[in-house]
Structure 1
Amino acid sequence: MNFYRFKPTSKILLSIPKLTLNYKTTFCILFLNVFIFSSCSAEDVFLDAILEKSSEDQEDSGNDENDEDTNSEDENRDSFKPDTEVVDCDSTFFDIEANSTLLVNCNFDLKGAHIKLPTNISLLFEGGSIYNGALTFNGGVISGELLNTDLEIDGQVSLENSEFTFDKNKWNIKEGKVSDDTAFNNLNSIKDAIALVERLNGDTFEIDEIDAYFDVSRKEKWHEEKASIAIPSDFHFKMGSSCTLRVQPNEEPGYALLYIKKRKNVVISGGKLVGDRFSHDYSSGGAHDWGHTMVIDGVHNITVDGVEMREGASDGLVIEGVRDRNRDGSLVDGGQESYNVIIKNSLFDNNRRNNIAIVDGTKIYIEQNTIRNAGSGVPDQGFPSSNGTSPRAGIDIESRKYNYPDGNSLGHTEKTEDVHIRNNNFSDNYGADVALFNNEKTYVYENTFHGTISSAYSFNCKIYDNTFINDQELSGTKAISFEPRYWANGEHRTTNFEIYNNSIEGYQFGIVLGGQDNYVHNNILTNNQRGIILLNSVSNRFENNDVSSSLPNSYGYFTFSSNNSLKDITIKNSNVDVEYFGLFFSNDNEGESGEILIDNLNFDNNISLRNAHGITIKNSSYNNISITDCQPILINNVSRQ
């Protein structure tokens, strides 16, 4: 294989007719008729840049400097600027042979040429550049350092190294606050670079030392790839610690800064993605709650690792599927769910609606992240602004369902399943830390919460091995809150939850639970004003939960004074040591049958039953029992007074 270098020579201005020719050494003769060279050998002879232009272009070539192309989409984009510390190459191009390697160590201006290279040519970076033209390869490789916004690459060619490093200067990225047009050019430049690296078989796109705005608002349909920084399949978008990509302030109701649709085997790591929450124009009306920093749409096998996502006008991250499902939950033709999604080691902060929204997908893992300040601001004001907008959750798992006309069953327009939320730290989220809405088979474990897990219309989920610590004011705080929801026939829809091995401390309400067939066991509740609160429910079980509190007026097991329907409820094998009432049941099962069994509880205080019916207490101990307007069954208990 032959090796060549561009020659840094004196800057002689050459002017020849613009021709379209093939590379052959016999053209040395043609150029020798115009210029005098010392030799026509393979090492020393240069060919002028070969241009592929129409005759009309040739006629206008003399006026290029004065004409303005008012129809160009890139009219605001600057040309590539080579490194001024590197000398210019001679104004001609080597007549290199097939199967050769060219080491580029000077700046080569193709002067608009479209050069067709011989077979299997390698262009390798050695400090120089090639720009202002096009190269067509017939096999071979090119160094990623030679790619730039002013060099077109055609034909069959691959990158010398599959890992490409993005140079903002070579792609004319303008940093800082810029006009919309400049931000749009920034978007096009980075999109062009990603597309080119993908086409040249690159698999890693490294980007760092950049802080720039990108206009992702110019779209016919929200979130489409053409309007966002789109990431391809089999690709690692690798952002460094000094990489910040920002949304150009806009007035669109929806956008996505990074968008991955119907791809596979993707990694996105590092860097910061920043939305326009506090600079967005909300004046056009509507909720403006579809502006996201990242959207994962029907992607298989994707990992997001160590990325900061903040200040989205809506969510930091959305995980969804392509197209609505059939009502039986199966995928429609052309539809695709997100599958095997891993989100880890990342920071989600101060997004206007939710930090993370999960609406469709299977095998989703949210782990070892910091998730805070979702929906921050004052309560809803009734008009769109930078203030948070509902549901304002750290993680909102919310799949749309179709309720059948009978009101007793539903179809799965969207579906989530096998979602794991583990080892995360939640704090200062305005609504819930985790909101479970219309989902199933979600597992929340080994997290640290400073707020609430709430649920409605969900089923078959587990909450376990978590730590809940409230360090805010007590008023209105809840650690776990699952309120009952019903079908039209009155049957429960919040069902089959298992809540166990959690530590809950410092809340006004520790666990608030309704629904059916839920199992709460082996939890430790400390210094909560109300430990466990029972709402309307059927066949719920509570076992081995230790409840203690030194707070004034604190309760263990509690029901509110509204009429509660409690059927087939079991409370067993627990210790309760609080300052006021260990058990306080009021207005339960009034006018209807119900059964509440309290078995083997040790109350280090008093218990009170007020208009609470269908209650059996056995094998338990307490200081004193107060009974009003009801007749509980008391079996084998010990009263200390």
Structure 2
Amino acid sequence: MKKIIPIILFSLLSLFSCSKDTIEGPIENPIPEEPDISSNTPCDFDLSNAEEGETISIDCSLNLEGKTINLPKAITILFNEGKIENGTLNFTEDGKIDGALLNNSLTIQGDIQLTKNEFDFIPSKWGIVEGVTTNEISRTNRDILENNMTFIKSLGASIFKIDKMDAFFNVDEPDILPSEAAINVPSDFTLKMTNNTHLRMQPNAAIRPTLLATFTASNVTIDGGVLHGDRDSHDYTTINSTHEWGHLLRITGTKNSVFKNIRFEDATGDAIDVHAYGHSFDPHYTYCDNVLITNNIMLRSRRNHISITDGRNITVEKNDFIDASIHTNKSTGIAPGFAIDVEAVRHGNPRGISEIAEDIFIKNNTENGSRVGAVTVHTGDRVTIEGNKFENSISYSTSIGTIIRNNEIIATTYKNINNGTAIVAGRADRYDDNYNGKVYGNTIENYAIGMTVSNKDLEVYANKITNCKTGLRITTIRNAKIYDNIITSSKENSDGIVSHPNLEYMDNVIVGGESKGNTIKVTRTPLKFVNVNEKSGQENFKLIVANNIITSENTSSFSKTHGFEFIENTISQGGVRIVNSENGKINNNSITSTSSNGIRLDTGCKNLTIKDNTINVTGNNLECIKINTTDGININIENNSCN
């Protein structure tokens, strides 16, 4: 169990002795602390003679010689470059003392508060040992820091400031909760650190260690500091464990709190883990609510930079995510491998949903170098991802009401340029579990696939997709609108909007719209729909392709597609090819083709209407409407204009 260190003098001599658990490796030089400028001139007065209501300024060195001094009412003791040590001050009533006078050899008790709301923690005054040290000393470091925060809060101060400190903290206690074994920050409290403040996790073999934590707390602010994990010095030899749960900051059941300006490096698991205390069916269930994570930098976490498994109203804003889950020379990254992973456990427990993650806002962040992706919403509802600049992908798998808007996603690696998909909106095998999503205003460049969309009740609009091998790929989907997107690519053999080869259906899907269709200019196929709604039971499913503007030279195509309408589109260079397709309308289009027939019908077509089209072909041996088969059934061609 965690020790309670009294705020009194204690000997550290034994802690400096050699020990077999001293960390091997290079010594980390602690940051030099400012020299103690407190006066060493002995005081010429005795606090035992203080009078009620007196204010005493300490500008000298007062050694209490182990005595307890009982002070009268309303005594105030101020710091004036002096010090008080080696004893106890007992304040009768309404006492006040300047926090700069506190140290580990002075005990204060009674009715006492600090004179200021802020307290400056000087490591040397409290026995913190800096630099590489033993497990025993680093555990004492942990207890000293946490106990001092609790102590300072009890004295009425709410801001705990640390500047120069570089120390290791042992948080390896397998018999208690990871959050309890960590350095805990209490409620209604601010821990304010600087770039000179380094909290380092003592290397360990624990499965779930946590460096810093808030546990069922509220109104907490952690501002600044550098948190170091033990990723490349961790002992991974424990069997039957992936060691993916070593976190730098564990936010558990915490409300109305802010975590900002922190630098996170080399977590064994996640930089930040946001989750509940207990599960949603537990009587003690306490979830995170109204949490802001902002202006932080996260580097080389082995798993994810941030995992959100349970919480409401969580905002992740203006953070820099770098190299999430990458492999290093001494440790390999582990799944999932994202900068941010929203992943509430919903199934698999007979008592019901285990975790709830909803109303989450991920905005104005930057990301590069993530091993797998930038953001995934594996399971979570009403997640808004907006205004981010990412190198890697955004995706959701099981989500209600997710919005992906106004992000910039630009591929810079071979992986994404040749195999990656910038936005994956849905997961086809989840069918109706994903709905009410929107994807709009995004800028995507240089990916293999700009977007893949699926599931139901989805709008995809006003996106700009540039130089992708495939602009937008549609898989199993129902009740979707895809419009006002601009898809251009000069890459060889690039396609515009295509169907996924393994889709189950497209039901009530509109590609384009009454007034704002998609603009497509690619080097191969602008529109390609294959194996759409040809199965039994899909006779009434509908695909509408309307008001799109296509300037690509090559032909758009419908193959083995049933129940489609191709209406009021403008094609300025290529044409349209229909093969093995049924129950379709090709009406009111304007087609100017320089490289192919305007409309070409091949084998296996049935129940088609080709009507009111304006067609102009200018190449040799080209026809406005080319019937390239004799097996067509019920093909109605009327009132088309051919030039």
Give the superposition deviation at 1:246: 0.9
Letter in structure 1 aligned against 2:262: V
SS of residue in 2 equivalent to 1:217: coil
What is the CA–CA distance in structure 1 between the aligned matches of 2:511 and 2:189, rounded to whole Å?
A: 53
Matched, 1:482 2:425: yes
> Which of 288, 313, 333 matches 2:243?
288
Partner of 1:450: 391
Task: Assess, with a 3 A threshold, how the Cα gap between structure 1 residues 563 and 165 changes in structure 2: closer, same or farther.
Answer: closer
Does the aligned pair in 2 maintain the 1:313–1:386 contact within 8 Å? no
What is the CA–CA distance in structure 1 between the aligned matches of 2:439 and 2:38, rounded to whole Å?
A: 66
What is the CA–CA distance in structure 2 between the aligned matches of 1:543 and 1:363, rounded to whole Å?
A: 31
Partner of 1:333: 283
Give the superposition deviation at 1:612: 2.8
What is the CA–CA distance in structure 1 between the aligned matches of 2:67 and 2:149, rounded to whole Å?
A: 24
What is the CA–CA distance in structure 1 between the aligned matches of 2:390 and 2:38, rounded to whole Å?
A: 55
Task: Assess, with a 3 A threshold, how the Cα gap between structure 1 residues 502 and 84 changes in structure 2: closer, same or farther.
Answer: closer
Matched, 1:228 2:182: yes
Does the aligned pair in 2 maintain the 1:91–1:109 contact within 8 Å? no
Partner of 1:343: 293
Matched, 1:501 2:453: no
- After superposition, the C-alpha distances for 1:207-230 in whole angstroms (9 at most, x for unaligned) are 0111111111135223233x2221
1:569-584 equivalences in 2 (<5 Å): 569-572=509-512, 573-584=517-528
Which is further off, 89-98 or 262-271?
89-98
Give the superposition deviation at 1:288: 1.1
What is the CA–CA distance in structure 2 between the aligned matches of 1:151 and 1:239, rounded to whole Å?
A: 24
Matched, 1:214 2:158: no
Give the superposition deviation at 1:125: 1.3
Does the aligned pair in 2 maintain the 1:208–1:242 contact within 8 Å? yes
Does the aligned pair in 2 maintain the 1:277–1:313 contact within 8 Å? yes
Give the superposition deviation at 1:577: 0.5
Give the superposition deviation at 1:291: 1.1
What is the CA–CA distance in structure 2 between the aligned matches of 1:219 and 1:86, rounded to whole Å?
A: 45
What is the CA–CA distance in structure 1 between the aligned matches of 2:364 and 2:420, rounded to whole Å?
A: 22
Task: Assess, with a 3 A threshold, how the Cα gap between structure 1 residues 118 and 82 changes in structure 2: closer, same or farther.
Answer: farther
Give the fraction of aligned pairs with identical amino acids, expressed as a percent: 28
Letter in structure 2 aligned against 1:574: N
Partner of 1:587: 531
1:313-462 equivalences in 2 (<5 Å): 313-326=268-281, 332-377=282-327, 386-402=331-347, 411-462=352-403
Give the superposition deviation at 1:376: 0.8
Give the superposition deviation at 1:562: 3.1
- After superposition, the C-alpha distances for 1:40-66 in whole angstroms (9 at most, x for unaligned) are xxxxxxxxxxxxxxxxxxxxxxxx99x
Letter in structure 1 aligned against 2:387: E
Partner of 1:601: 548
What is the CA–CA distance in structure 2 between the aligned matches of 1:164 and 1:484, rounded to whole Å?
A: 51
SS of residue in 1 equivalent to 2:259: strand
- RMSD after superposition: 2.5
Partner of 2:77: 123
Matched, 1:135 2:89: yes
What is the CA–CA distance in structure 2 between the aligned matches of 1:485 and 1:621, rounded to whole Å?
A: 31
What is the CA–CA distance in structure 2 between the aligned matches of 1:591 and 1:334, rounded to whole Å?
A: 50
What is the CA–CA distance in structure 2 between the aligned matches of 1:514 and 1:563, rounded to whole Å?
A: 9
Letter in structure 2 aligned against 1:514: S
What is the CA–CA distance in structure 1 between the aligned matches of 2:559 and 2:457, rounded to whole Å?
A: 26
Partner of 2:452: 512
Give the superposition deviation at 1:84: 8.1
- After superposition, the C-alpha distances for 1:555-577 in whole angstroms (9 at most, x for unaligned) are 10012333542222110111111
- After superposition, the C-alpha distances for 1:599-624 in whole angstroms (9 at most, x for unaligned) are 11111122122323332211113312
Gaps in structure 2 of 5+ consecutive residues? 1-9, 16-21, 23-34, 594-643
Matched, 1:630 2:564: no
SS of residue in 1 equivalent to 2:89: strand
Give the superposition deviation at 1:506: 1.1
What is the CA–CA distance in structure 1 between the aligned matches of 2:151 and 2:426, rounded to whole Å?
A: 52
What is the CA–CA distance in structure 2 between the aligned matches of 1:537 and 1:190, rounded to whole Å?
A: 55
What is the CA–CA distance in structure 2 between the aligned matches of 1:577 and 1:153, rounded to whole Å?
A: 77
Letter in structure 1 aligned against 2:588: N
Give the superposition deviation at 1:448: 1.0
Does the aligned pair in 2 maintain the 1:86–1:128 contact within 8 Å? yes
Does the aligned pair in 2 maintain the 1:484–1:492 contact within 8 Å? no
Matched, 1:302 2:257: yes
Does the aligned pair in 1 maintain the 2:39–2:81 contact within 8 Å? no
Partner of 1:7: none
Partner of 1:329: none
Task: Assess, with a 3 A threshold, how the Cα gap between structure 1 residues 555 and 314 changes in structure 2: closer, same or farther.
Answer: same
Partner of 1:9: none
SS of residue in 2 equivalent to 1:518: strand
Matched, 1:611 2:555: no
Give the superposition deviation at 1:112: 2.8
What is the CA–CA distance in structure 2 between the aligned matches of 1:340 and 1:100, rounded to whole Å?
A: 44
Give the superposition deviation at 1:146: 1.1
What is the CA–CA distance in structure 2 between the aligned matches of 1:404 and 1:200, rounded to whole Å?
A: 45
Does the aligned pair in 1 maintain the 2:198–2:228 contact within 8 Å? yes
Give the superposition deviation at 1:630: 2.2
Partner of 2:209: 255
TM-score with structure 2 setting the length: 0.81
Partner of 2:104: 149
Letter in structure 2 aligned against 1:452: S
What is the CA–CA distance in structure 2 between the aligned matches of 1:378 and 1:633, rounded to whole Å?
A: 57
What is the CA–CA distance in structure 1 between the aligned matches of 2:176 and 2:457, rounded to whole Å?
A: 44
Partner of 1:35: none
SS of residue in 1 equivalent to 2:331: coil
What is the CA–CA distance in structure 1 between the aligned matches of 2:45 and 2:591, rounded to whole Å?
A: 104
SS of residue in 2 equivalent to 1:264: coil
Task: Assess, with a 3 A threshold, how the Cα gap between structure 1 residues 636 and 204 changes in structure 2: closer, same or farther.
Answer: same
SS of residue in 2 equivalent to 1:325: coil
What is the CA–CA distance in structure 1 between the aligned matches of 2:289 and 2:363, rounded to whole Å?
A: 18
What is the CA–CA distance in structure 1 between the aligned matches of 2:294 and 2:328, rounded to whole Å?
A: 30
Task: Assess, with a 3 A threshold, how the Cα gap between structure 1 residues 82 and 554 changes in structure 2: closer, same or farther.
Answer: closer
SS of residue in 2 equivalent to 1:433: strand
Task: Assess, with a 3 A threshold, how the Cα gap between structure 1 residues 68 and 309 changes in structure 2: closer, same or farther.
Answer: closer
Letter in structure 2 aligned against 1:309: F
Matched, 1:467 2:418: no
Does the aligned pair in 2 maintain the 1:457–1:485 contact within 8 Å? no
Give the superposition deviation at 1:134: 2.3
- After superposition, the C-alpha distances for 1:339-391 in whole angstroms (9 at most, x for unaligned) are 11111111122111110111111111111111121111189xxxxx7311111
- After superposition, the C-alpha distances for 1:392-413 in whole angstroms (9 at most, x for unaligned) are 11111111113587xxxx9432
Task: Assess, with a 3 A threshold, how the Cα gap between structure 1 residues 232 and 68 changes in structure 2: closer, same or farther.
Answer: closer
Does the aligned pair in 1 maintain the 2:38–2:82 contact within 8 Å? no
What is the CA–CA distance in structure 2 between the aligned matches of 1:517 and 1:166, rounded to whole Å?
A: 55
Does the aligned pair in 2 maintain the 1:485–1:494 contact within 8 Å? no
- After superposition, the C-alpha distances for 1:489-530 in whole angstroms (9 at most, x for unaligned) are xx5212111111111111111110111111111111111111
Task: Assess, with a 3 A threshold, how the Cα gap between structure 1 residues 485 and 152 changes in structure 2: closer, same or farther.
Answer: farther
